[in-house]
Amino acid sequence: MTTTRRSFLKFGGAMLGTLATAALWPLQVFAARPDDAFKSKSMTDLEKLLGGTPTDSADIDFKTPDIAENGAVVPVSIESNIPGTSEIMILVEQNPNPLSAMFLIPEGTKPAVSTRIKVAQTSNLIAVVKANGKLYSSTKETKVTLGGCGG
């Protein structure tokens, strides 16, 4: 799928014109970003900040690679099948700051996100879902290997 700009525009069907614009509307202040949660260094005080220890749930479809060729970019995807899901978070237990990303899911948006995160070393990756004020989680380990030829 060629992605150079011109062919990107020519691409038919559901593709769309891209319009790079300056900020169209005044910079909204987002609902408060939990800055302290992003700075917290341990799982325990993170759980205090997030409001309790999540209960493990099989209704979270959490995809992570078993072995990551490079910890700098680890693709993860989370889909919550728990009704009333309003928040999804990604935690990396062994990272200096375990909280990596947080997503607020309003009505009408599917509780499913994919992104790529940095995993400092082999670690448990935890997807935390908030639904109807309760916390649920799914945990998977990703091995991070010594990349390259060691040179």
Would you say how long the chain is, in residues?
A: 151
d(CA 141, CA 114): 17
Residue 53, both tokens: 């220890």
The encoded tokens of residue 11 equal 């691409």
Q: Decide: 76 and 125 in contact? Cβ < 8 Å.
A: yes
Residue 13: both structure tokens together:
């069907």
42 binds another protein (CB under 8 A): no
The 43-82 site mask, x for binding another protein (CB under 8 A), equals --------------------x-xxxxxx-xxxx-x-----
Stretch that binds another protein, among 47-55, 104-112, 123-131, 132-140 (CB under 8 A): 104-112
Interface residues with another protein (CB under 8 A)?
Answer: 1-6, 8, 13-25, 27-28, 30-31, 33-34, 38, 63, 65-70, 72-75, 77, 92, 95-97, 99-106, 108-110, 112-118, 120, 143, 145-151
